[in-house]
Amino acid sequence: MSNYHIKHLEEYYQVYRKSIREPENFWEEIAEEHFLWRKKWTNVLSWDFSKPEVKWFEGAKLNITENCIDRHLATRGDKTAIIFEPNNPTDKAEYISYKQLYERVNQFANVLKSKGVTKGDRVCIYVPMIPELAIATLACARIGAIHSVVFAGFSSKALSTRINDCDCKMVITADGSYRGNKTIDLKGVVDEALESCPGVKNVLVAKRINSKISMKVGRDFWLQPLLDSASKEGNAEVMDAEDPLFILYTSGSTGKPKGMVHSSAGYMVYTAYTFKNVFQYKENDVYWCTADIGWITGHSYIIYGPLANGATTVLFEGVPSYPNFGRFWEIVDKHKINQFYTAPTAIRALAKQGTELVEKYNLSSLKVLGSVGEPINEEAWHWYNENVGKKKSPIVDTWWQTETGGIMITPIPYVTPTKPTYATLPFIGIQPALMNENGDELKGNQVEGRLCIKFPWPSMARTIWGSHQRYKETYFSAFDNMYFTGDGALRDEVGYYRITGRVDDVIIVSGHNLGTAPIEDAINEHPAVAESAIVGFPHDIKGSALYGYITLKDAGESRNHKNLSKEINQLIADRIGPIAKLDKIQFTEGLPKTRSGKIMRRILRKIAHNEMDNLGDISTLLNPDVVQSIIDNKL
Ligand code: 7RM
């Protein structure tokens, strides 16, 4: 029997060692015993990071949707696969069983085929968080079309860039979407985007908000009538292990977005295996990840990982603040959520509201709390632990990336003792390395450096769509024979990892290497502070000095900013040392963030460097307006 489900720490170490000593045997056993293959592989792994080229399960044939749907029908046909929780809490939730999912995915797949979509074609999915989003994604996978999901909050420009980069021939969208008490005219955004996308032949439109939209004859079709007349049966396309499953764009620090290409077999095996262990999912648990399917977290841990395990996964259309900031907790209570997975930015926003709304609901179903997307600061960690988990649910601080496909460094709940702000230990099969600027690996514990991965893992992205050269330069050129993550990390005295932030955030003050995360942690401890971001700026004597952007819990905070600044610097001096004190502190109404909630330190750094005319494209930000106000009040 393979070690599919890890239950205690000793077992973790034993399985981990095996996965490093004999990676091929290890992954072969996992793949063999827990998945459905049309044909087995001829070779488990071949790799060469200098090209770079990585192939897992070469020669195997499969379809990921048969693993996520068909194979569960005999034992879990009536089990709920997806719970759809709508934006409006008074609307009814929808429960989609595995049987119904099978039928709806087949219908959708048959519609795609009838519109001429075939294996290898790219299909852009620009759909809000409604069941059609998951179903469209799975339908593409079923017929071997490569899906490119674009977050349905992106602008028409961002959308057209992504459509053209991979030559999508079809766009799937909706008439509009709900977001709290607002509606968004999605079809209007698509129409505008398509003015510069000559390759798109058809647009399929789901009806969600019943708005009046224009439909271009011959190009645009309402989805529902097509689905209604499509067959509920259909065979899955048989795919090669290394056939691309999807493209997902991630923004680089420069240049156009990178279309990360993920493969079929390796991605499936790794997302399923991590899901099972990182969330300790047990049959009949109800699992909820609050991410949007437009991000990798939604791909891997709303759709593929959970469904490959026959799990019940929640798909939430709304936002944490509508109709009030108790919405998340209301949903946990209503659906008796067992595993809850969200981002530090959401936790901080909710913590800002106090504890009254959390206490109003029964959260006793919770067993595991997850965090992803950014370093979780110490304050937020404790708030989450105490008020949501009641100190009984372990927090899994999961570090990973769009490029890695699955969770890489993480505690396993009830197995790995947690430590606030630490992602703790590498997951099974993952070989991290910390490197210094000279390209030497820092061995042993209590070291800090650039985080790399030394050995391939099944779900790593195989290339950047259209530019293998850029893939090589971005990830495999900084250090010989290593995948470079772009993040900094430290390893503590017991070998636990803490992610200190993007390496471009590392600031050298008077020769001391300072990560942003620990300083922000100290600042956030101040009771008046909601969020903070630290960047460096040039300084005559120190080389670099620290510039802090800070938002307060109460925007009308009466205490004067001078006193607050003093208190904050005192906290930093106490927690880290006087070396980490801030030279400049600017109180702002908000921090610029990506749509997935990451603080854009790059923009703040440019402002601190007085490079205001060179901010790059800020139109895809969650809150582009805040940038101008920060510039206007710059110190
Ligand atoms: C899953 C996701 C990737 C970047 C990554 C880090 C940061 C993600 C954590 C984290 C500290 C974490 N994919 N990051 N998780 N930093 N602790 N637990 O977010 O491609 O959108 O972003 O996010 O910098 O490189 S992503």
Is 321 a residue whose pLDDT tops 60?
yes
Specify the pLDDT at position 254. 62
Task: Note the pLDDT tens digit of each residue in 49-90.
Answer: 999 999 999 999 999 999 999 999 999 999 999 999 999 999
Task: Note the pLDDT tens digit of each residue in 13-26.
Answer: 999 999 999 999 99
A 10 A CB-CB count for 49 gives 19
Specify the pLDDT at position 586. 95
pLDDT band at 502 (very low <50, low <70, confident <90, very high): confident
CA–CA separation, 456 and 20 (whole Å)? 11
Q: Average pLDDT, whole number, for the chain?
A: 95
pLDDT band at 558 (very low <50, low <70, confident <90, very high): low
- Would you list the DSSP string of 216-240? -TTTEEEHHHHHHTS-S--PPPPEE
Q: For residues 327 and 89, is the Cβ–Cβ distance under 8 A? A: yes
From its phi and psi, is residue 390 left (phi > 0), alpha (psi between -120 and 50) or beta?
A: left
Report the DSSP beta bridge partners of residue 497. 424, 491
Is 316 a residue whose pLDDT tops 70?
yes
At 505, the amino acid letter reads D
**Nearest to 345, CA basis, from 626, 554, 555, 599:** 599
- Evaluate: CB of 404 within 6 angstroms of ligand 1: no
- Would you list the DSSP string of 253-288? SSSSPEEEEEESHHHHHHHHHHHHHHTT--TT-EEE
Return the best residue to mutate from 598, 599, 601, 620 for the ligand 1 pocket (most ligand atoms within 8 A of CB): 598
**Nearest to 420, CA basis, from 386, 468, 463:** 386
**Nearest to 296, CA basis, from 165, 415, 400, 438:** 400
CA–CA separation, 374 and 597 (whole Å)? 8
Is 481 a residue whose pLDDT tops 70?
yes
- Evaluate: CB of 375 within 6 angstroms of ligand 1: yes
CA angle, 372 as apex, 409 and 585 as ends, to 5°?
Answer: 110
Is 557 a residue whose pLDDT tops 90?
no
Residue bearing the CA closest to ligand 1, atom 4? 401
- Evaluate: CB of 27 within 6 angstroms of ligand 1: no
Q: For residues 531 and 588, is the Cβ–Cβ distance under 8 A? A: no
Task: Note the pLDDT tens digit of each residue in 561-608.
Answer: 899 999 999 999 888 888 889 999 999 999 999 888 889 998 999 999
The Å distance, Cα 559 to ligand 1 centre, comes to 35
- Evaluate: CB of 28 within 6 angstroms of ligand 1: no
Report the DSSP beta bridge partners of residue 451. 434
Residue bearing the CA closest to ligand 1, atom 13? 401
The structural domains of the chain, ordered by start, are 2-319+398-489 (3.40.50.12780), 510-632 (3.30.300.30)
- Greatest Cα pair distance, the chain, in angstroms, is 73
The phi and psi torsions of 153 (rounded to 5 degrees) equal -125, -5
Specify the pLDDT at position 1. 56
Specify the pLDDT at position 252. 66
CA–CA separation, 314 and 304 (whole Å)? 13
CA–CA separation, 332 and 591 (whole Å)? 28
- Would you list the DSSP string of 99-137? HHHHHHHHHHHHHHHHTT--TT-EEEE---SSHHHHHHH
Provide, for the chain, the percentages of residues in helix, strand and coil under a 3-state DSSP scheme, each rounded to the nearest 5.
Answer: 35, 25, 45
The Å distance, Cα 372 to ligand 1 centre, comes to 6
E strand residue ranges, 134-243: 146-149, 170-174, 177-179, 182-184, 202-206, 220-222, 239-240
The Å distance, Cα 366 to ligand 1 centre, comes to 24
Is 512 a residue whose pLDDT tops 80?
no
Specify the pLDDT at position 539. 86
Q: What mean pLDDT is predicted for residues 137-143?
A: 98
Is 368 a residue whose pLDDT tops 70?
yes
Specify the pLDDT at position 597. 87
**Nearest to 5, CA basis, from 33, 25, 24, 28:** 33
Q: What mean pLDDT is predicted for residues 205-214?
A: 97
Q: Model's pTM, two decimal places?
A: 0.92
Task: Note the pLDDT tens digit of each residue in 403-430.
Answer: 999 999 999 999 999 999 999 999 999 9
The Å distance, Cα 157 to ligand 1 centre, comes to 25
Specify the pairing of strand 43-48 against strand 53-58. antiparallel
- Whether the ω angle into residue 52 lies within 30 degrees of 0, i.e. cis, is yes
- Whether the ω angle into residue 323 lies within 30 degrees of 0, i.e. cis, is yes
Atom of ligand 1 nearest to the CA of 410: 18
